[in-house]
A = this chain, B = another copy of it.
Amino acid sequence: MKADYILWEGAGRGPNGAPQVVLGVKGLLYVQISAKTPKDLHSMYAPIARNPAWELLDFLRELRGPDGRVNIPGFYDDILVPPSVEGLTASKLGIDLRLMKEALGYEVQDDFLVKLVRDPTCNLDGIQSGYTGEGSKTVIPSHAFVKLDFRLVPRQQPKVVLAALREMVKKRNLEMMVLGEEEPFRTCEDSEIAKALIDSARETFFMEPLVLPNSPGTGPMASVARTLGIGQIADGVGPDNPGSNIHSFNEFIYKRDYRLCKEWMVNLLKRLGV
C-alpha cells in the first residue's frame, strides 16, 4: 500500500456550524491499578487494619492534584503546543457556549476548545471497592481497583509515561494492568493535505473551517503513519453535527450536510490533482 496522504474519518461540523479540519489525535494510555490484602475484615479492625481502598486513594491523591494536574515525573516535559491553539476561543470563533452547555450538562468557559485540544489529562473511568449494595455493611474490603485513562498530546509518548507511572505504582506495592496504548499524532498545518482541505472547505461552505491541530479524542493515526510511512494524515469531510448523537442511539446527519460534504470531497480531490 502506498499513498501521499490519508484522509481520515471522523471530523464533522464544529459547534459553530463550521466544517472541521482536524490535523491529528491525542494519544492514550489506559491502565487498571489495584490494591489487595489477604481478606475482607470486620470494620472494628479499622484502627490497625490496612484498607486497600484508602491505599489506592492515597496513591490517586499523589497522582493527580485537585487542580487536575498530573504528578507523574516528566509528564509535561515533551509537549508541543502549536501557537494556533491559543486562537481557539469561543468568542473569536463565534461559538455559542450554550451548545457546549447542552452537550455537557453544565457551563464551560470561553477557552474550552483550547483546553480540549491542548491539555493532557488523567481521567478516572471507574473505581470499585468493597460493599456497594443497598444499605450498610461494616467491612474493610480486601480489594480495590481503579481504571484510568491518560489522554496524551503530541510528543508525549505512552511508553515514557507508563514507565514513570510504573515506578510510582511499584513504590506503593500496587498492581497495574495496561489496557490500552496509542501514540498521539499531528500533521503540520502547512502540509499539502491540510492546505487542500482548508481551501476546499472555504470553496464549498463559503466560510472559514474550524482547524484543530489535534482532536480531543484518540485514534490509531500514529500506527497507520508508522506502518505505511505516511506523514500527512488529516481528518475532515464529515457530515455529523454537534447534536448528531454520535456513537449513540438515534444517530443522524442532515441531508444538507451530506450533500455539502460530498461536494467538499470532490473539491478536495480536484485540488489534490487526483
Cα A43 to Cα B131 in complex, Å, equals 26
A57 to chain B, nearest CB (A): 6
- Say which residue of B48, B58, B127, B179 sits within 8 Å of A128 (CB atoms): B127
- Say which residue of B28, B137, B140, B141 sits within 8 Å of A138 (CB atoms): B28
Stretch at the interface among A115-123, A161-169, A193-201, A261-269: A115-123
A149 to chain B, nearest CB (A): 5
Cα A136 to Cα B135 in complex, Å, equals 29
Cα A73 to Cα B43 in complex, Å, equals 23
Cα A120 to Cα B229 in complex, Å, equals 63
Cα A215 to Cα B118 in complex, Å, equals 55
What residue of chain B has the Cβ atom nearest to residue A122's Cβ?
B46
Kindly name the residue among A47, A49, A130, A180 whose own CB sees the greatest number of chain B CB atoms within 10 A.
A47
Contacts of A48 in B (CB 8 A): 104, 108-109, 112, 115-116
Q: Does A44 contact B (CB under 8 A)?
A: yes
Q: Are B126 and A218 in contact (CB under 8 A)?
A: no
A93 to chain B, nearest CB (A): 15
Stretch at the interface among A34-42, A75-83, A202-210, A234-242: A34-42
Q: Does A51 contact B (CB under 8 A)?
A: yes
Q: Are B130 and A127 in contact (CB under 8 A)?
A: yes
Query: From residue 26 to 74 of chain A, which have CB atoms closer than 8 A to chain B?
Result: 26, 28, 30, 32, 37-39, 41-51, 53-54, 57-58, 60-61, 64, 66, 68
Query: From residue 1 to 22 of chain A, which have CB atoms closer than 8 A to chain B?
Result: none
What residue of chain B has the Cβ atom nearest to residue A116's Cβ?
B47
- Say which residue of B51, B115, B131 sits within 8 Å of A147 (CB atoms): B131
Contacts of A224 in B (CB 8 A): none
Contacts of A45 in B (CB 8 A): 104, 116, 216
A138 to chain B, nearest CB (A): 5
Q: Are A126 and B116 in contact (CB under 8 A)?
A: no
Would you give 17 A-B contacts (Cβ < 8 Å), ordered by A?
Answer: A30-B136, A42-B217, A42-B247, A43-B149, A45-B216, A49-B104, A53-B127, A54-B64, A61-B61, A123-B140, A125-B140, A126-B131, A127-B128, A127-B132, A132-B145, A136-B180, A138-B218
Using CB atoms and an 8 Å cutoff, list the residues of chain A in contact with chain B. 26, 28, 30, 32, 37-39, 41-51, 53-54, 57-58, 60-61, 64, 66, 68, 104-106, 108-109, 112, 115-116, 118-119, 121-132, 135-141, 144-145, 147, 149, 151, 179-180, 215-218, 247
